[in-house]
A and B are shown apart, each in its own frame.
Chain A
């Protein structure tokens, strides 16, 4: 059986299976879920290891004609970029399922929705058909509503509810759906305009290489796709659903939400908007490069002002996703490599951070920064992980984030020097709020009202943290294999973008990294 198909179907099948599990056996639900995410993780590792770098292109393809009259096919496959993201999602989902052991009520329903969410994300990363891309994309968004609404928590400040979880869930769902339908409109227009009667991404890429789409049309469709998918990316000024959604969601859902769901937007922009509409990309990406600066600087400054731990990380995520957008906007192999690599590294880092905050919240029942403090004595393991996460987030050498941000800033230097300089400033802002958070939670004056807090003591409880930190350190110290894997696909991708008559992109030295 094809690997990619198994990766996609394992969580879906498990979700169906869970419907049959009796309500009073939550342990079965948990074990099935661990299995349903563990299998994809193993296969994703195998996939990344065995991707044929010499051949490049889409591999492990599955193709089943689905609606022939419209040219829709169930087409799965991965290239270097999506293989890395599949691995990221597999890592995050296993850790998320393990962290979800803290969920004690309506466990079965929780895992059904959680597995549907996981299926949707795998589907987006592996689909090579516009129809199924959208199909899985929307399928990943909707489970967020019950997941946040039922198992989430209100965002409180000084004991007063600032955002209720219902508000957060509804805002997130509606924002993402509006974005999705705008993108859908762009996709349908693209399909109708191409005139080849095919939803197949690979076929469209081939077709457009020989006879490019009319430049005017490209410039008209591109903003629809970037706006639509930019909402989930989350691009300023459409980001406001995201920190609130993070904050209200249960921690395992925040992990996936910030770790991978936001990456769907930037992945879609790379794969569909930039990949299929090069002329539109040339015309519009400078605007994206400008907007993403607002993400980086403004998002960072807002994060500094937050007092709820999850809101801090939520705003920091939207700030970091600005770097990803900047990397995409460069249209150089270097910048694109950096963007995909940052998606990977940031996904792991932010999943780690949300898992930690979730643990602190479960133990202390508060996320309000002034009410916390001195937890390092009670939670030595969690505190250590927290310091590691803060350092990774600040871009300390040795972690994946450093490599990625370096690549992006180097890549942006030729085309957007101003943005590159200001983006470096964003790194400083990140360290300010991350270090302030670590100090406020784990060090300083201990709050006497929190004596019951317990550490993650058992090896099983520490496992998800260990997986995430291990992966972060591994790619940080030895980024080469992963960067080269991304490079296999990103380099030809950018080469294709070069128009013989249009704008020339400054050719980067080909030996880095």
Chain B
């Protein structure tokens, strides 16, 4: 290993260093001025973004045997940084965080971000585990961050218990794979799968690893933690969970399924297809009767996990590309929705669906953003979510799973129903009390940019598709 191989980990170094910087800033700054810490943290993400841009020249470089910086990693690191940036901007307006401990919160965002960035590049099961634990440990703490709120503590505890179980699955699976392959490196493990008859031990290890990752992306039957955690955790954390954590789980799944387990695709393809169908149906049907928007979005995020699994199950390059595009669309749509949820929760009080009644009168901008975000999640053209869904369905049809595509198509209509129920509240029903909600200038700008991104990606798909490497991982 020479010094120049550090180029491969440049972004991670910046993010790690910035976490230290944040820690010292938190120590040095007076309590009264700490609400401006978001600026330092946002600047850190922007710096990391600039480094990522510069780092593109070193695509294909390895850092030791465990870490690679390839085009695939570069694309997803970009998405993770975007997510982190928007989440930082959310914490700025999430007023309930203001009393105390805001510094550590930003620090935790950075450690979670570091975990996600590492996950995009892993080529070793051990590093995979470390990256995933770094991410989830940060999220455990963040979920329970509102210490005086019973539901937040409950959310943190539930996430901790169920997350630990899933880590157990993962570690057990890794140990079985180690037993079968004699190592944890992807190249080594994949040799076990490539050589004719796969030992049952390795198949069991593979299924356990998939189960462990299934928790992270909230796929049925590993979804039980989602509704309560989404309802109780602070909203910016929920946004990070539903976008960042899910994306990280998918990235890792792509890495291991396409990079290691590809020869056994007959096994995992079928398993994922069945799970995908169950996940879509369960998430979307269970979302219908919800009365709390965060719970509803929790179930909807389960539904989206189903679509992502549908793309993964194809085991084709076009399936992987479709998943990448779906995540890009999901990122902007879901973060736009959560941004409005943060604002309504902080400025208008409450996350119950009733507080959205008459939102279009109280704040046309928030209502329009939520409208566009929700319809994009439902998959309505000309918005980004539509192209994502179309690509995933197309990949499934091309992979010969028409039945799965049919279930996915019907779920579009089901999800549209409950998203429209929110639209109905915003536009059709009168507000109980109607003081206008005023968002500040930066927030308005961010909302406009998010809307523009959703429409832009939905109309001009090709430039974004080209960003996603479609070759084998």
Which stretch of A181-189, A256-264, A386-394 is in the interface? A181-189
List the A side residues contacting B420 at CB < 8 Å. Answer: 145, 170, 173
Q: By the criterion CB–CB under 8 Å, are A185 and B402 in contact?
A: yes
How far apart are the CA atoms of A131 and B390 in the complex, in Å?
A: 9
Q: In whole angstroms, how far apart are the Cα atoms of A185 and B386 in the complex?
A: 14
* Cβ contacts under 8 Å, A461 to chain B: none
Which residues of chain A from 188 to 222 have any CB-CB distance to chain B below 8 Å in the complex? 188-189, 191-192
Residues of A with C-beta under 8 A to B416: 173-174, 177
Chain B 4-35 interface mask (CB, 8 Å, partner A; 1/0)? 00000000000000000000000000000000
Q: How far is the CA of A88 from the CA of B409 in the complex (A)?
A: 32
Kindly supply a per-residue 1/0 record for chain B positions 417-435, scoring 1 wherever the CB is within 8 Å of any chain A CB and 0 otherwise: 1001001100110000000
A residues less than 8 Å from B465 (CB atoms):
67, 69
Within residues 361 to 409 of chain B, which ones have a CB less than 8 A from any CB in chain A?
375, 380-382, 386, 390, 393-394, 397-398, 402, 405-406, 409
Identity of the chain B residue whose Cβ is nearest the Cβ of A19 in the assembled complex:
B368
**B150 to A: closest C-beta gap in Å:** 36
User: Is B412 in the interface zone, CB < 8 Å from A?
Assistant: yes
Q: A66-B462, A189-B402 are in contact. Are A146 and B423 (CB under 8 A)?
A: yes
CB nearest to A170 among chain B residues? B420
Contact A142 B405 (CB under 8 A): no
With A66-B462, A68-B462 given, is the CB distance from A170 to B417 under 8 Å?
yes
Complex CA gap A69/B410 in Å reads 27
Could you tell me the distance in whole angstroms from the C-beta of B437 to the nearest C-beta in chain A? Answer: 16
Query: Is A185 a contact partner of B382 (Cβ separation < 8 A)?
Result: no
The A-contacting residues of B in range 420-473, CB under 8 angstroms, are 420, 423-424, 427-428, 461-462, 465, 470
The distance in angstroms between the C-alpha atoms of A150 and B428, with both chains bound, is 5
Q: How far is the CB of B105 from chain A (nearest CB, A)?
A: 36
Check if B375 sits within 8 Å of A142, measured CB to CB: yes
A136 to B382 Cα, complex, angstroms: 8
| Known pairs A185-B397, A188-B405; A149 contacts B424 (CB<8 A) | yes
Which residues of B, 283-321, contact A by the 8 Å Cβ criterion?
none
* CB <8 Å contact, A178 and B413: yes
Assembled-state Cα–Cα distance A188/B410 (Å): 14
Q: Which of B380, B393, B427 contacts A146 (CB 8 A)?
A: B427
Identity of the chain A residue whose Cβ is nearest the Cβ of B405 in the assembled complex: A185
Kindly state the separation between the CA atoms of A68 and B462 in the bound complex, as whole angstroms: 8
The chain B residue with its CB closest to the CB of A68 is B462
Contact of B397 among A67, A182, A188 (CB under 8 A): A188
Once the chains bind, are B427 and A135 in contact (CB under 8 Å)?
Answer: no
How many chain B residues sit at the interface, stated as a range, is 20 to 34
Chain A residues within an 8 Å CB radius of B470: 69
With both beta carbons as reference points, the residue of chain B lying nearest to A181 in the complex is identified as B409
A73 → B minimal CB distance (Å): 11
The contact string, 1 if C-beta is below 8 Å from chain B, for chain A 142-185, is 10011001100000000000000010001001100110011011
Contacts of A170 in B (CB 8 A): 417, 420, 424
Q: How many Å lie between the Cα of A67 and that of B466 in the bound state?
A: 9
B-side binding surface: helix, strand, loop or mixed?
helix
By the criterion CB–CB under 8 Å, are B413 and A174 in contact? yes
* CB pair A66 B461 closer than 8 Å: yes
| Assembly CA distance A146 to B374 (angstroms) | 14
Q: From residue 116 to 159 of chain A, which have CB atoms closer than 8 A to chain B?
A: 131, 134-136, 138-139, 142, 145-146, 149-150
CB of A70 within 8 Å of the partner chain: yes
Contacting residues, chain A, for B402 (C-beta < 8 A): 185, 189
Nearest Cβ in chain A — how far from B318, in angstroms? 8
Contact present for A138 and B397 (CB under 8 Å): no
**Distance in Å: Cβ of A80 to nearest Cβ of chain B:** 28
Task: Count A-side interface residues using an 8 Å CB cutoff.
Answer: 31
- The distance in angstroms between the C-alpha atoms of A66 and B390, with both chains bound, is 15
Chain B: minimal CB distance from A106 (Å): 9
* Prevailing SS type, chain A contact patch: helix
State whether A188 touches B413 (Cβ < 8 A): no
Kindly state the separation between the CA atoms of A173 and B412 in the bound complex, as whole angstroms.
Answer: 12
Which of B382, B397, B412 meets A189, CB within 8 Å? Answer: B397
Q: In the docked arrangement, what's the CA distance between A142 and B372, Å?
A: 12
State which residues 25-75 of A face B: CB under 8 Å.
66-70
- Tell me the chain A residues, 217-251 only, with Cβ under 8 Å from chain B: none
How many Å lie between the Cα of A123 and that of B63 in the bound state?
51
Measured between beta carbons, the chain A residues less than 8 angstroms from B386 are: 135, 138
Distance of B283 from chain A, by nearest CB (Å): 17
A181-B413 contact given A136-B381, A142-B375, CB 8 Å threshold: yes
B381 engages A188 (CB within 8 Å) = no
- Chain B's closest residue to A112 (CB) is B368
The reply to whether B394 and A182 contact each other, CB–CB distance below 8 Å, is: no
* A191 B394 Cβ-Cβ under 8 A: yes
B409's partner among A109, A136, A150, A182 (CB-CB below 8 A) is A182
Q: Is the CB of B413 within 8 A of A138?
A: no
Is the CB–CB distance between A192 and B428 below 8 Å? no
Q: Nearest residue in B to A131 (C-beta to C-beta)?
A: B390
In the bound assembly, the distance between CA atoms of A149 and B423 in angstroms comes to 10
Closest Cβ neighbor of A74 among chain B residues: B459
Docked Cα-Cα span, A415 to B69, in Å, equals 67
**Are the C-beta atoms of B417 and A70 separated by less than 8 Å?**
no
Which of A66, A149, A173 contacts B428, CB < 8 Å?
A149
Measured in the bound complex, the distance between the Cα atoms of B402 and A135 in whole Å is 21
* With A66-B461, A68-B462, A166-B424: A192-B380 Cβ-Cβ less than 8 Å: no
Q: Are B428 and A181 in contact (CB under 8 A)?
A: no
Q: How far is the CB of A124 from chain B (nearest CB, A)?
A: 11
User: In the complex, what distance in Å separates the CA atom of A136 from the CA atom of B459?
Assistant: 11
Whether A135 and B397, one on each chain, are in contact in the complex, defined by CB atoms closer than 8 angstroms, is no
Chain A residues, Cβ within 8 Å of B397: 185, 188-189, 191-192
Alpha-carbon gap, A69 to B462, bound state (A) = 9
Among B360, B380, B427, the residue within 8 A (CB) of A142 is B380
Contacts of A182 in B (CB 8 A): 409
List the A side residues contacting B393 at CB < 8 Å.
184-185, 188
Residue in B closest to A191 when the chains form the complex, CB atoms: B394
In the assembled complex, the Cα of A188 lies from the Cα of B428 at a distance in Å of: 35
Taking CB atoms, residues of chain A closer than 8 Å to B428 are 146, 149-150, 166
Distance, CA A166 to CA B382, complexed state (A): 24
A170 to B416: give the CA distance in the assembly, Å.
Answer: 10
Which one of A66, A139, A177, A192 has the greatest number of beta carbons of chain B within 10 Å? A177
B413 to chain A: which residues have CB within 8 Å? 174, 177-178, 181
Enumerate chain B residues within 8 angstroms of A192, measured Cβ to Cβ: 394, 397-398
Question: In the complex, what residues of B have CB within 8 A of residue A181's CB?
Answer: 409-410, 412-413
Which residues of chain B come closer than 8 Å to A149, judged between CB atoms? 424, 427-428
Q: How far apart are the CA atoms of A181 and B415 in the complex, in Å?
A: 12
**Which residues of chain B come closer than 8 Å to A134, judged between CB atoms?**
381, 390
Contact partner of A70 among B382, B394, B406, B412, CB < 8 A? B394
- Say how far A198's CB is from chain B's closest CB, in angstroms: 13
Q: Which of A70-117 contact B (CB under 8 A)?
A: 70, 109
A67, B462: Cβ atoms closer than 8 Å: yes
Partner of A150 from B381, B406, B427, B461 at Cβ < 8 Å: B427
Residues from chain A with a CB closer than 8 A to the CB of B382 are 135, 139
Residue ID in chain B nearest A141 by CB atoms: B380
Considering the chains assembled together, what is the distance between the CA atoms of A14 and B420 in angstroms? 25
Q: With a CB–CB cut-off of 8 A, which chain A residues contact B417? A: 170, 174
Give CA–CA (A294, B413) in the complex, Å: 27
Known: A66-B461, A109-B360. 11 other contacts (CB 8 A): A66-B462, A69-B470, A138-B386, A142-B380, A146-B423, A174-B417, A177-B416, A178-B410, A181-B409, A185-B397, A185-B409
23 contacts between A and B (CB under 8 A): A134-B381, A135-B381, A135-B386, A142-B375, A145-B423, A146-B423, A149-B424, A149-B428, A150-B428, A166-B424, A170-B420, A170-B424, A174-B413, A177-B412, A181-B412, A185-B397, A185-B406, A185-B409, A188-B393, A188-B405, A189-B397, A189-B402, A192-B394
Residues of B within 8 A of A (CB): 360, 375, 380-382, 386, 390, 393-394, 397-398, 402, 405-406, 409-410, 412-413, 416-417, 420, 423-424, 427-428, 461-462, 465, 470
Nearest 3 CB-CB pairs, A to B?
A: A181-B409, A135-B381, A188-B397
